[in-house]
Structure formats: structure tokens, C-alpha cells
Amino acid sequence: MIQTGLIRLLTDNTKMVEGKRVGVLCHPASIDNDYNHIVNLLYDKKKIDLRAIFSPQHGYKGDKQDNMIESPHITDPVSHCPIYSLYSETRKPTPEMLSNIDILIIDLQDIGTRVYTFIYTMALAMEACQNKGIQVIVLDRPNPINSSTVEGNILDTEFKSFVGLYPIPMRHGMTIAELAWMFNEEYNIACDLKIVEMSNYNRNMWFDDTDLPWVLPSPNMPTLDTATVYPGAVIFEGTLVSEGRGTTKPFEILGSSYIEPHKLVNELNSLGLNGVFFRPIYFEPTFHKYAKETCGGIQIHVTDRSIFKPYLTGLGILKTIRKLYPKDFEWKQPPYEYEYKKLPIDLLIGNQNIRKYLDTIDDIYYIEREYQNELNQFLDIRKKYLLYK
């Protein structure tokens, strides 16, 4: 079985934190192989002085459903430590929050997509620790959708936001510790960074190859199937098409009140996208877009994940819906993730060119060819920060 950074810290590397005042940035998926949470594990170690807990988007309890729903600062009932929400009036730890610790441990389950905010909470915490001279220890975890496949355009920094701070592709193909190392070196965070690597892990593993237990890292990431389609389906957050929030299959189900599902499915299945089949579906979200309204749409069925391209697929679905329903389709308007001027779709995609291509270019594979050179440049940078074969 894979040993995560958490397990290796507590079994082989406890001297890194013994006798130090420790803070931990974590969420509900920060667990060991027996579902024990990192806060309880650290608190039970007599030689570890746990002083503070930090939580990312969706809160320490993982109960906040949507974007820009902030979490309060609370107190942990077990350790009695303060829990500082980094999705509140601040996304970055303040000097006061860090005043009582010597080391910040970061143990977050990422899902392999640029726009998942946990990696930027990590980066901002690293910046804050650098300013205070606090060491950061990142405990590595698997990339659920494997750490070898990379897809998508590179973020144009003109469109940087809390869903994209650095020029990486939509599917980055890295573990969270590899990202931390790259952010620290390439983008000049320059904190005192230590990494606890996994053991028995290789880059081609999907989460279900690891034998590790799955716990929702966020409320709308219930399964590995969700994570598999997320790099493409997430762009529908930038539209008024439902991305399936309020259903039992978020991001696997997409649709709207004006869509006739069979018509959409026929168009999509004719695109020849690899490793995927689209099935017509009707659904009624219990909350979020179109709450309690009947929607027509699709369910995305991944038939071969080794050749499935989620981002290209998402662009293909988006373009097809705009083509079939030009008078009904609408872009979501700001604000989105603390950005009040730029269109959410441009923040999610990472530039405004692809949105324009969707209106003017018939061939979605043209879009893929257009970003290939910049993706190759990223791959050259990425090579320097890979910890596993």
C-alpha cells in the first residue's frame, strides 16, 4: 500500500516536528490509511506541540458548498486549538495567525486540476511563512487522476485569480508536493520548504490503484469519477449551464432548462472524442443553478480513462451547447472567486482567447493545437520538480 507523506511523517520523520510549536493546514481528507485525521494524530503525539489549525475553501468541516461561501474561525473541540479559516476575510495567514508556531505542516488532498483552490491556499500560506521565517513541511499525497497525464492551455497571468495564480495547465500532472516545490522555486516564494514524499508510489497510478481510502476533499468531489471529468466540466462554473451541483453526480451531469438532451447527445457523440460516451438525461437540482427545475442535459460516461481528455471534452461540450442554443446560452457574470471585473469563464480557462475561439472556430482540435507549444514549454519546467518515476 502507498504510504502518504502523513504516514511517513508519523512513522519515520517525527523528529522534524518534535519539540516545535506546530500548525497544520488541512481539511477532512487529511487522513491516514485507517481514516484517522491528522489533527487527532498530531494531538495524540506527546512530543508534538500542536498550536494552530488552518483550513482552506469549504471549511475545516468541509461543509460549505459553493464558491465565495466563507467559513468562520472556530475552535477544534478535540485539541482546543484555534482553527483559522483561509477562506474568510483573508485567503492568506496573517502574521497574528502565525505568531504562535515554528513550523506549518500542509496536508491537503489535491485533485489534479489548476482551478482547485487548495493549491493556492498552500502557496499563499508558504508566502506568509516565508515572511515570518517559519518552516513549511508539505506532506505528499497522490494526484487522483495520475501524475503523468498533462492537458490544457497555460494560464495567462493577466487572468490570475484564486482559481489560477501561476502559469500551469488545466491538468497539471503533478502531486501537491511537486507543485509546492515548483511554486517555491519557479515563482520565487523562497520559503524554507521541506517535503515528506510518499513511498511505493509511481506517476501512472490513479487513486484507485493506491488502495488508499477516499474521503471527499470538498463537498462536490464525492468520487474519483468526479475528479476524472472535473478538468473539463469545471469550466461550466463560468456559465449559467448547471454543472450538476445539487445532484448526486456533480460535474458528471451538465444541463439546463432549455436543453433537449437527445439533440445535444447526438451532436456530442458525433465529435469523435476519445474514451467518452454521452447519455441523455433529465435532472432536477435540489440547490444551486435551476434549483427544483427540470433540466435536460447529459451524463458524461468515461469509457476509457487512459485516452479520455477531460479538458478537450469540456470545450467540445461548451462549444456544442453554444452552437445549438445561441439565444439561450449565457456566460456567468462576476463576481467569481473574489474577482469582480473579469468574466468567470476567462478566469477558469486562463485566458480570453479560447472563449473567442469557441465562437469563431468550428474545429475544437484547432484549439488544442494552438496551446500545444506553450504546454510543451511547461513540460520542460515541470521535469525539474518530479519526485517519482
This prediction has a pTM of 0.97
Handedness of CA 65, 326, 303, 301 (dihedral sign): positive
The owner of cell 494552530 is 52
pLDDT tens-digit series, residues 26-74: 999 999 999 999 999 999 998 999 999 999 999 898 888 877 789 999 9
**Partners of 277 in the β-ladder:** 301
> Would you say how long the chain is, in residues?
389
Residue 318, amino acid = L
pLDDT tens-digit series, residues 218-240: 999 999 999 999 999 999 999 99
Task: Tell me the angle at which helices 310-324 and 353-360 cross, rounded to the nearest 10 degrees.
Answer: 50
Burial of 147 (0-12, 13-18, 19+ CB in 10 A): buried
pLDDT confidence of 1, banded at 50, 70, 90?
confident
What does the pLDDT read at residue 65? 81
What does the pLDDT read at residue 68? 75
Q: What percent of the chain has pLDDT over 90?
A: 95
Average pLDDT on 284-302 reads: 97
Answer yes or no: are the C-beta atoms of 342 and 161 closer than 8 Å: yes
Query: Could you give the 3-state DSSP secondary structure of residue 282?
Result: strand
pLDDT tens-digit series, residues 10-19: 999 999 999 9
7-16 in b/e burial notation, b at 16+ Cβ within 10 A? bbbbeeeeeb
How far is residue 328's CA from residue 319's CA, in Å, rounded to a whole number? 13
Average pLDDT on 366-376 reads: 96
What does the pLDDT read at residue 215? 97
Query: Could you give the 3-state DSSP secondary structure of residue 131?
Result: helix
What does the pLDDT read at residue 340? 95
How far is residue 175's CA from residue 109's CA, in Å, rounded to a whole number? 9
Residue 238 phi, psi dihedral angles, 5° rounding: -90, 15
Q: What percent of the chain has pLDDT over 70?
A: 100
Query: Could you give the 3-state DSSP secondary structure of residue 195?
Result: strand
What does the pLDDT read at residue 63? 85
Per-residue DSSP letters for 297-324?
Answer: EEEEEES-TTT--HHHHHHHHHHHHHHH
Outline where the chain has alpha helix (H): 5-12, 38-44, 118-132, 176-186, 224-233, 261-269, 310-324, 344-349, 353-360, 364-370, 372-382
pLDDT tens-digit series, residues 100-116: 999 999 999 999 999 99
Query: pLDDT at residue 119 above 80?
Result: yes
Average pLDDT on 158-162 reads: 97
Answer yes or no: are the C-beta atoms of 143 and 175 closer than 8 Å: yes
